[in-house]
Amino acid sequence: CIPGGGILERLDAGEVVIGDGGFVFALEKRGYVKAGPWTPEAAAEHPEAVRQLHREFLRAGDDKLENRGNKVTFTGAQINEAACDLAREVANEGDAMVAGGVCQTPSYLSCKSETEVKGILKKQLDVFIKKNVDFLIAEYFEHVEEAVWAVEVLKETGKPVAASMCIGPDGDMHGVSPGECAVRLVKAGAQIVGVNCHFDPMTCVKTVKMMKEGVEKAGLKAHYMVQPLAYHTPDCNCQGFIDLPEFPFGLEPRILSRWDMHKYAREAFNAGIRFIGGCCGFEPYHIRAVAEELGPERGFLPAASEKHGNWGAGLEMHTKPWVRARARRDYWENLKPASGRPQCPSMSAPDGWGVTKGHTDLMQQKEATSQDQLKQLFDRSKSH
C-alpha cells in the first residue's frame, strides 16, 4: 500500500489496497494445516512457515478449535496473539496493514442464540485490541444474520470494520440477496463490505457489484472489497466450491493463471472496488499479477516484479525461438490453457445436499466423528 494512514483514509483517498491470499490452503499444501478443521495453529506451532508466507505475500503486493476432533494444543487467544505478532513483524518490513478477523461460528450453524454467538466472537477481540491491529474484518459468513451480529461486536472496539460474506449472486444461504446483505451490514456499522472465498474472481466481482447497487439504492455509502478463490467455479451452486467433488484435494486443474488474475484485477477496479485481494488457492504470484495489473493506478510495482518481466518479457532471453515468440501480451492474454487430462469433463456436478443452519448434520461435537457417523455420510454420498 502507498503510505497514507489507516485503511479508511487510504480508501477515502482513492488508493487501491491489495489484500493477501489464502493462508490456510497454502499452509495445508505445505504441510502445516489440517484440512477439514482449517484452524491456523501453525501461527503458534510453526511461526517460521507463517512468517515466510506473510513475507511472500507482502513482496507480491474460537469454538472452531474444539469441534470435529481437532486436537487443541493452543488456545484461540494464543494463536491469535502469535498470528498478530507475525503479521505485524512482516508488515513493518513494508507499508502494509494488519487486520484482525473473525468468521462464522459452528455455534451459529448449530442454532445457538445471538448472545452465545456474540460471546464467542467477543473472546477474540481482546487480543486484537491488545495488539492494536489496524482494522477488523468479519469475513466468511454464509448467513447475513450472523454477519450483522459480528459487525455489531466489532464496532464496539472503535476500530474500522470490514464485512465480507462468502456468497455468490444468489445471496446468502437463506436467500437474502447480495444487495440486501450489504445494506444490512452497512446499517450495522460496516464501513467496507464485500465478498470472499467460495467463488471464482469474476463471480465474486459480479456479486460485489450487486452489493454496491443495493447500498447506493438505499442512499448509503461504503467502500467495497473482494477476495475470491483462485479457482474457476462456473459449475458451483449457491454454496460454492465446498459442494464441488474436487474440494479440497483435487482443485488444482481449476487454478487460475497469472494472466486470469490480470483480468480479474481490472474487472474489480472498473467495478469501483478498491480493496482487491484473494482467498483460497491464491499464491503470491497471483497477488503479484493483481499488483502488476494495477501498477499504473498504484504508482509502483511490487518488489517481486523485479524477477518477473511484464507480460512474459523475460522470455526474450529464452534459447528457443518459439518460446521467445511468446514474450508478448496478446499471446498470454488470449491463451486458452489445456488441462492435459483427456478423461476429465470440463465441469462437475456439485453435491448440493442443501445443508445449512439448523440441519442435523451441522450440529457440532467436540469428539471426533465416529465410524458409524462416517458410514452414514458415505452411504448418503453414494446416493447423490
Convert 226-293 into a string of H (helix), E (strand) and C (coil): EECCCECCCCCCCCHHHHCCCCCCCCHHHECCHHHHHHHHHHHHHCCCCEECCCCCCCHHHHHHHHHH
Who wins on pLDDT, 162 or 81? 162
Q: With bands split at pLDDT 50, 70 and 90, how would you rate the model's confidence at 65? A: very low
For residue 61, pLDDT beyond 70:
no
Question: Which tens digit of pLDDT belongs to each residue from 298-348?
Answer: 999 998 898 888 999 989 989 999 999 999 999 999 999 999 999 999 999
Task: Consult the annotation and say whether 279 binds a ligand.
Answer: yes
pLDDT tens sequence across 351-371 = 878 778 878 777 777 777 888
Rounded average pLDDT over 145-156? 97
The residue ranking higher by pLDDT, 295 or 354, is: 295
User: In which band, very low, low, confident or very high, does the pLDDT at 44 lie, cut at 50, 70 and 90?
Assistant: confident
CATH code linked to domain 7-306: 3.20.20.330
198 Cβ contact list (under 8 Å, min separation 6): 166, 167, 168, 229, 233, 236, 239, 240, 241, 242
Q: Is position 166 annotated in a ligand binding site?
A: no
Question: Is 197 annotated for ligand binding?
Answer: yes
**Stated pTM of the model:** 0.87
